Chain A
Amino acid sequence: MEDNTRIGVYICHCGSNIAGTVDVKEVAEFAQGLPSVVVAKDYIYMCSDPGQSMIKEDIKELGLNRIVVASCSPTLHEHTFRRACQDAGLNPYLFEMVNIREHCSWVTEDHDAATEKAKALVNAAVRRVYYHEPLEIREVPVTPSVMVVGGGIAGIQAALEIANSGHKVYLVEREPSIGGHMAQFDKTFPTLDCASCIFTPLLSAVGQHPYIELLTYSEVEEVSGYVGNFKAKIRKKARYVDISKCTGCTDCANVCPVELPAEFELGMAQRKAIYRLFPQAVPSVFSIDKRGYPPCRVACPAGVNAQGYISLISQGKFKEAIEILRETMPFPGVCGRVCTHPCEVDCERGKVDEPVAIRSLKRFMADYELRVGREKTTPVEKTKEDRVAIIGAGPAGLACAYDLIREGYPVTVFGAAPQAGGLLRYGIPEYRMPKEVVDNEISYIEELGVEIKTNTPVKNLEDVFNQGYEAIFLGTGAGISQKMGIPGENASGVIHALDFLRQVNLRVKVELGERVAVIGGGNAAVDAARVAKRLGAKEVSIVYRRSRAEMPAVATEVDEAEQEGVGIHFLAVPVSVLSKDDKLTGIQCIRMELGEPDASGRRRPIPVKGSEFNMDIDNVIIAIGQTVDRAMLPKELEYTSWGTLSVDPVTLKTNIEGVFAGGDVVAGPADIIGAIAAGKEAAISIERYLEGVDLKEGRPTPVKQVKEVPKEGVEIKARSTMPVLELEKRKGFAEVELGFDEKMAIEEAKRCLNCGVCSECLECIKACEPQAINHEMEDEIIEVEVGSIIMATGYDTFDPSVITQYGYGRYDNVVTALQFERMCNASGPTEGEIVLKDGSEPKSVAIIHCVGSRDKNYFEYCSRVCCMYSLKYSHLIKEKTNAEVYQMYLDMRCFGEGYEEFYDRLSGEGVNFIRGKVSEVTDQAISNEEKGKLIVSCEDTLLDAIIRVPVDMVILSTALAPRSDAEDVARLFNISRRADGFFRERHVKLDPVATTTEGVFVVGCAQAPKDIPDTIAQASAAAARVLAMISWGKVEIEAAIAAIDEELCSGCRICNLLCPYNAISFDEEKEVSQINEAQCKGCGVCVAACPSSAIAGKHFTTEQIMAEIEGVLI
């Protein structure tokens, strides 16, 4: 404690702001009586020159060594008084400020209470300041480069101003090109000069400026450091186009099959998945819009890129389409017929009306190829030496072989049957799967170089390895039928479905009686029943133990079967086979009822006692399931309790080294696409195995699925139905489903919503001469060091659809201001024509002001530009059409230079002004004049009447809203926002350019809605502030930081992790933590956390804080 402490206390009146409520004289008298206080004075404006002089003189004359000022907020004037102390030779930290305005006079009208509180606060400050210590103000150098975030007019202006002074600017823009909203404008008010004419020269100046590094399609991800010394991590999003090679020729966009609403045109025009915002864009290069895998691709077990081939079908590029499918698997015709199509289940189109007929489109490609003929494929060059054996020539084995041969491995497929194809060939009847389809697809695989050995069953794997094969894939399927386990099952006339179908497919004659019963409800049962019918059986019935809803067979197949005359006995199960002389005569069945759902989710059938009944029949076909034929497999393999092969679920590795398995042999009887997927997965394992790479790492491959698929404006359109063979023609094995023709296919393909946007059809790669396209491109993170940051992130336009009464989104000709802006623009969707949705010219137009603005339900503030752009629109309407224009306004706010004159001019042009907030836009006519019109209704407050104005078009003058991600951005840059959502300036009047964070500035509409002239002025002002910092070369930083007492530090490092500014590191030699003074902001987190009390916050010592608390309390 210093004996010679001499404190001066100064109470400010702040005009009447403080003195009107607080008795300042009384406070001064009170202060005069406090310990160590030498002098206490009050003055009308302490911050004024005479006020400051008073303090300075007292310091010198009375030898004061501590100062307390009780006035306004320290954010406003702490700096002022610290400077005054410094001028008088006193360390600025020997000063303490008390806020008796915001904390006393402005919060109560009670004079006594305000005065008492002011006294308490002054008392606290006097006690605190007693313990203040002189601190050293530190200076740090300023990095002479700047980051400007946002490439609209605000960012561009700021960037150019700074760059023109010869300092480096990083201009970061998240869109593919700069320009922001201004690039969308047509004319600019009030001079009506063309936005492009005044703006494009600036765009190109930025693009060519030697001191501006343009980082488009980029977003700031992380900001660290402090004023003068920021570090920013910027993500340069993958464009999938090499900027340095792209010439902007548009060849790629011309071939791109994917169209979607163009954001730049507010959905009034279409763009391609490969696009640029507008032809004059800077940089004038293309980008590919990839939003992730579409749900169909994700749902497909084999990962087939359905969107890719569908988008090409929609363009009539059928050959290219089938190539996309063959990128993944070789079975267009097979899967196009019998796939269980999980893709269609997840198809987003199904949420609008019905899923796209993906399977039928796939089949269409195969049909098309068969129709026009296919040229022989060139064999793949076998670049690898390790030979792979595939055992089993069904879909799993062939898919595995297909993938491996394309990787360059020599592959041999061993099949037990006379021909390859497995179940595809022998399990599915020809009316569903013509042999030529299977032949074509297997030939394709063979043409690639896969060797297929038929009639070659393999039982001994050792032999295979001995023949020189390095790896084996087992895909032998589940080839034997399950038995029913009931008496008489072995009677002659009882047939198993798989045997039955195999024989039929082998064209072996099968003798059937007149009456046939098929037991089971799966595809094999339905197939068997329909085949039996085709072989001439008179009465064919299916006996199924549950009801139709639980039938696992494809529903359309069941329907077709019924139409063909197959009867179905639901809820019945055979209990014994009746025979005479070991020859089948019939079956006894029992009725079932459905109980609780079982493990499969289907309701469990329970026999109904005493409900037995007999069926007289000649043949029973059993189709109740298939299982793996162990007799055909090597003995050393391990099995699951289900009787299938046991493999690693991810790698499909069996218990034998180098042997992998997949398909029905592992999964049991399942769908073909699952078998193909297993084959593909095994191919990956085999390749890894042969290359000596870890089998599991990174598997299953993570898939980035598209998040949201916009569906607004999608017109309802039913999916195309598959044409089928007429019933009377179904005698033989002619295919029942006939397939789509080209027209149907194109039409159906156009129903695809292109969920992933880019369909990865890769047509752009073929079209791009400079070879600029790279679909494998990845995001890049770069790091920049800058001294200051200018936020120019702009605004969003208010979405008026929430004001349902205005009909936006419901009525075609209700448009937003920005949409109308694009409509007026000669390079916009209508080439500058003002037209209705039907292309005709409007005869009358209403412009509704303040849509979302000046409305506590949405945004309370005035958006400041709407009156003026509304006037501009009126002029453009008058100029381009003969339409009558009505403006429904609340107040006309035309405050800028030349603005009122513009209003006057527009009045002279005959625009009708109606004062009143529009209550409704409706198409409900109450008179003939209103029929077919949009009626805009409001109270005309100048007429004392409700006015209904029938018009053809309504323009909504929508509010300028804060960016939807403003909160995240504020957090990223450590700046604050106002209640209205925009970024907060340091002082609304005195410092509308700086933010609350030193070194970060805000310009343009990111700070508040404003017009172009104000934006330019603010951007230039921010540039001036930044340049001043650079020019001075150094900045003062806070001295009130934390300090570590090395004696007390235990080296626990808790503080290291907690510091939000990464200012604390650990000294390995001394084994203590150290604070980087330049980075410390004095937040105090470490002080509170330190278990050894080794850290003290300078200017916030325990002594100081305790004294202050005592002062308030006593």
Chain B
Amino acid sequence: MPVLAPLKEVADIIKEAGGEELKLCYQCGLCTGVCPWNTVRSFLVRRIMHQAQLGLVDFEDEDMWLCVTCRACVERCPRSVGILDVMKAMRRGITELGIAKVPDSLRITIKNISGTGNPLGEPPENRANWAKDLDIKEYTEGTEWLYFTGCMASYDPKLQRIPRAIVNLLKKAQVDFGILGNRETCSGESVRKAGDEQLFQTLAQTNIDTFTELGVKKIVTTSPHSYHTFKNEYPELDGNFEVIHYSRLLAELIKEGRLKPTKELNKKVTYHDPCYLGRHNGIYDEPREILHSLPGIELIEMPRSQENSLCCGGGGGGIWMETKKGERFADIRLEEAIETGAGTLAVACPFCMSMFEDSVLSLDKGDIIEIKDIAELIQEVI
């Protein structure tokens, strides 16, 4: 059995890096119990919290990078400990102080974002290529909405169908909106969760400056991640904007009659709650309202839904890291979706879309289930 002594300095670093709340933890272990990792491998969140309390964290351990920030633990923590903040603080300690190695994939991604403003390392000037043929105006002062596309939706060819569907619908509903085009840069949400606070600060400040310069008041986002950081984290840097996730805007547009479903779909659909829309921001109803409003759609809930939803595994930098087969939450979730008998798995987050598309391919389930963004489904009936 190892013999250890508390390292107050280390505990102080974690606390100062945003992990202050860990002192509230009374080691009940509910976090470990609810953490999805423990259905596929051991991940003793409770013990990590205790190690952090005493400054005895093993920063070299790959466990440092497992947390996908799904917030299942925080949701139920009896002492309301900001467990994700602690995880983030430890990663920040590793990244900023260089006390351990950052996984290669994550390191490269962060390097990409730092250099090009997107995780894929694509040229910034190509950011708006997805919209080339769509005749979308660049945001200018006075435009009602800024549509913030986000990196993955902008660059990943598999995901570009999401923003394309969204702008089509916005146009149909005659919403006054514009995009930033090449001036858009990464929101920094996952960068922060991956522990690079400095880069997050730079990215956020850049975005805030751009928004302010252009006189942006209202922002609609593709990604729940961008939505989350704009809404909850940018105010720390005095970036105060009215932010809305597209699902909410589209739901309103349908409600207002500005989007009128005309066709019938005849599909069995199940909906996957993205963590950053659901548990992080409490948005469970609007996506379902949309699905209910689409003619011919039968919405079947998976056993784990809303606040109990299983994460796709893409948060907290997970989307950029390799996960062993058999440990992928997206695979499990896909099976759960298939179990319901639905032929369509509806999502409302590009990260979820990406993860599930990978699972469909790797599990070879393409003929049983399709992955659709809810914007795509609306588009199909308009």
- State the Cβ distance, A333 to closest chain B Cβ, in Å: 65
- Choose one: A884, A904, A942, A946; the contact of B24 (CB below 8 Å): A904
Contact with B along A895-937 (1 / 0, CB 8 A): 0000000011001111111110000000000010110000000
A window 929-982: CB within 8 A of B: 929-930, 939-940, 942-950
> Is the beta-carbon distance between B2 and A945 smaller than 8 angstroms?
yes
Residues of B within 8 A of A948 (CB): 3-5
Asked whether B47 is an interface residue with its Cβ less than 8 Å from the other chain, the reply is yes
Complex interface: chain A residues within 8 A of B97 (CB): none
Residues in chain A near residue B53, CB distance under 8 A: 912-913
Mark interface residues in B44-72 (1 if CB within 8 Å of A CB, else 0). Answer: 00110011011010000000000000000
Contacts of B5 in A (CB 8 A): 927, 929-930, 947-950
Complex: how many Å from CA A461 to CA B47?
Answer: 102
Q: Are A944 and B1 within 8 A (Cβ)?
A: yes
* Interface of chain B residues 1 through 35 with chain A (CB within 8 A): 1-6, 8, 23-27
- B172 on interface, CB distance cutoff 8 Å: no
CA distance A912 to B6 in the complex (A): 10
Contact, CB under 8 Å: B79 / A907: yes
CA distance A1091 to B50 in the complex (A): 78
Interface size on B, residues (CB 8 A): 20
Distance of A912 Cα from B27 Cα, bound (Å): 12
CA distance A859 to B24 in the complex (A): 31
The answer to whether B47 touches A884, judged by C-beta atoms less than 8 angstroms apart, is no
B8 is contacted by which of A884, A903, A930 (Cβ under 8 Å)?
Answer: A884
Q: Within 8 Å of chain B (Cβ to Cβ): is A10?
A: no
- Give chain B residues whose Cβ lies under 8 Å from the Cβ of A950: 5
Given A904-B79, A912-B54, decide whether A945 and B1 contact each other with a Cβ distance below 8 A: yes
Closest Cβ of chain B: how far from A227's Cβ, in Å? 49
| A908–B24 CB distance below 8 A | yes
Question: Whole-angstrom distance from the CB of A949 to the nearest CB of chain B?
Answer: 6
A454 to B24: give the CA distance in the assembly, Å: 94
Residue of A nearest to B5 (CB): A948
Q: Is the CB of B26 within 8 A of A908?
A: no
Q: Is the CB of A942 within 8 A of B1?
A: no
Let me know if A892 is at the binding interface, CB within 8 A: yes
Size of chain A's interface in residues, with CB distance under 8 A? 28
Please state if B23 and A908 are interface contacts (CB–CB under 8 Å). yes
Q: Which of A886, A930, A940, A944 has the most CB of B within 10 A?
A: A940
Check B79 against A945 for contact (C-beta < 8 Å).
no
Taking CB atoms, residues of chain B closer than 8 Å to A915 are: 27
Closest to A904 in B: B79
CA distance A761 to B25 in the complex (A): 62
Pick from A892, A907, A908, A927 the residue with the most CB of B within 10 Å.
Answer: A907
CB-based nearest B residue for A908? B24
Shortest distance from the beta carbon of B325 to any chain A beta carbon, whole Å: 29
Which residues in B have their C-beta under 8 angstroms from that of A910? 23
C-alpha gap A943/B1 in the complex (Å): 10
- Given A884-B8, A904-B79, A912-B54, A945 and B3 contact (CB-CB distance below 8 Å): yes
Judge whether B26 and A892 touch: CB under 8 Å: yes
Which residues on the A side are within 8 Å of B8 (C-beta)? 884
User: How far does the Cβ of B57 sit from chain A's closest Cβ, in whole Å?
Assistant: 11
**Residue of chain A at shortest CB distance from B2:** A945
Chain B residue with minimal CB distance to A844? B8
Q: How far is the CA of A950 from the CA of B54 in the complex (A)?
A: 13
Residue ID in chain B nearest A903 by CB atoms: B26
Are A946 and B1 in touch, CB under 8 angstroms? yes
Bound CA–CA A1012/B9 (angstroms): 39
Scan residues 55-100 of chain B and give those whose CB is less than 8 A from a CB of chain A: 56, 79
Q: Are B27 and A942 in contact, CB atoms less than 8 angstroms apart?
A: yes
Complex Cα–Cα for A907 and B23 (A)? 6
Residues of A within 8 A of B4 (CB): 940, 943, 945-948
Q: Please determine whether B79 and A943 come into contact, CB atoms closer than 8 angstroms.
A: no
Contacts of B2 in A (CB 8 A): 945-946
- Closest Cβ–Cβ distance, residue A950 to chain B (whole Å): 7
What is the bound-complex CA distance between A884 and B46, given in angstroms? 22
CA distance A226 to B8 in the complex (A): 64
Residue of A907, A927, A949 near B6 (CB, 8 A) is A949
Chain B residues whose CB sits within 8 angstroms of the CB of A904 once the complex forms = 24, 79
Q: Which residues of B contact A947 (CB under 8 A)?
A: 3-6, 54
CA distance A942 to B4 in the complex (A): 13
**Partner of A943 from B23, B24, B25, B50 at Cβ < 8 Å:** B50
Q: Which residues of B contact A884 (CB under 8 A)?
A: 8
Find out whether the CB atom of A886 lies under 8 angstroms from the CB atom of B6: yes
Kindly name the residue among A903, A942, A949 whose own CB sees the greatest number of chain B CB atoms within 10 A. A942
What is the CB-to-nearest-CB distance from B99 to chain A, in angstroms, rounded to a whole number? 19
Within the complex, the shortest CB–CB distance from B46 to chain A, in Å, comes to 7
- Given A944-B1, A945-B2, A946-B4, A907 contacting B26 (CB threshold 8 A): yes
CA distance A947 to B27 in the complex (A): 17
* Binary interface encoding of chain B residues 107-134 relative to chain A, with 1 for a CB under 8 A from any of its CBs, else 0: 0000000000000000000000000000
How far, in whole Å, are A912 and B54 apart by their CA atoms in the complex? 7
Contacts of A929 in B (CB 8 A): 5
B9–chain A nearest beta-carbon distance, Å: 11
For residue B56, which residue of chain A has the nearest CB? A943
Inter-chain CA distance A884–B55, complex, in Å, is 13
CB atoms of A943 and B54 under 8 A apart? yes
**Cα-based distance from A939 to B3 in the complex (angstroms):** 9
Chain A residues with CB under 8 Å of B23's CB are 907-911
Which residues on the A side are within 8 Å of B51 (C-beta)?
Answer: 943
Give B156-186 as 1s and 0s: 1 = Cβ < 8 Å from A's Cβ atoms.
Answer: 0000000000000000000000000000000
Most chain A CB inside 10 Å of its own CB: which residue of B4, B5, B25:
B5
| A904 to B3 alpha-carbon distance, docked (Å) | 29
A909 surroundings in chain B (CB, below 8 A): 23
What distance in Å separates the Cβ of A847 from its nearest Cβ neighbour in chain B?
14
Cα–Cα distance between A290 and B24 once the two chains are bound (Å): 53
Give every chain B residue within 8 A of A886 (Cβ-Cβ): 6
Q: A912-B54, A949-B6 are in contact. Are A939 and B1 (CB under 8 A)?
A: yes
Chain B positions 127-163 with a Cβ under 8 Å from a chain A Cβ: none
Task: Write out the residue numbers on chain B whose beta carbons fall within 8 Å of the beta carbon of A940.
Answer: 4, 50, 54
Is the beta-carbon distance between B6 and A913 smaller than 8 angstroms?
no
**What is the distance, in angstroms, from B20's C-beta to the closest C-beta of chain A?**
9
Tell me the nearest residue of chain B to A943, going by C-beta.
Answer: B50
Residues of B close to A946: CB separation below 8 A: 1-4
In angstroms, Cα B56 to Cα A948, docked, is 12
Distance in angstroms from A884 CB to nearest chain B CB is: 6
Q: How far is the CB of B38 from chain A (nearest CB, A)?
A: 17
Measured in the bound complex, the distance between the Cα atoms of B4 and A939 in whole Å is 10
Q: What CA separation (Å) do A904 and B25 show in the bound complex?
A: 9
Q: Which of A991-1018 contact B (CB under 8 A)?
A: none
Report Cα–Cα, A929/B4, bound state, in Å: 12
Most buried by B among A910, A943, A945: A943
How far does the alpha carbon of A947 sit from the alpha carbon of B25 in the complex, in Å?
19
Residues of chain A contacted by B6 (CB below 8 angstroms): 886, 912, 947, 949
Considering the complex, give the chain A residue whose CB is closest to the CB of B8.
Answer: A884
A907 and B53 alpha carbons, distance in the complex (Å): 11
CB distance from B148 to the nearest CB of A (A): 37
Contacts A/B (CB < 8 Å), 26 sampled: A884-B8, A886-B6, A907-B23, A907-B24, A907-B25, A908-B23, A910-B23, A912-B6, A913-B26, A913-B53, A927-B5, A929-B5, A939-B1, A940-B4, A940-B54, A942-B47, A942-B50, A943-B50, A943-B51, A945-B3, A946-B2, A946-B4, A948-B4, A948-B5, A949-B5, A949-B6
Interface residues of A (CB under 8 A from B): 884, 886, 892, 903-904, 907-915, 927, 929-930, 939-940, 942-950
Given A929-B5, A946-B2, A947-B5, list of 20 further CB < 8 A pairs?
Answer: A904-B24, A907-B25, A907-B26, A907-B79, A908-B23, A909-B23, A912-B53, A912-B54, A913-B26, A913-B53, A942-B46, A942-B47, A943-B47, A944-B47, A945-B4, A946-B1, A946-B3, A948-B3, A948-B5, A949-B6
Q: Which 4 A-B pairs have the closest CB atoms?
A: A946-B3, A945-B2, A907-B24, A942-B50
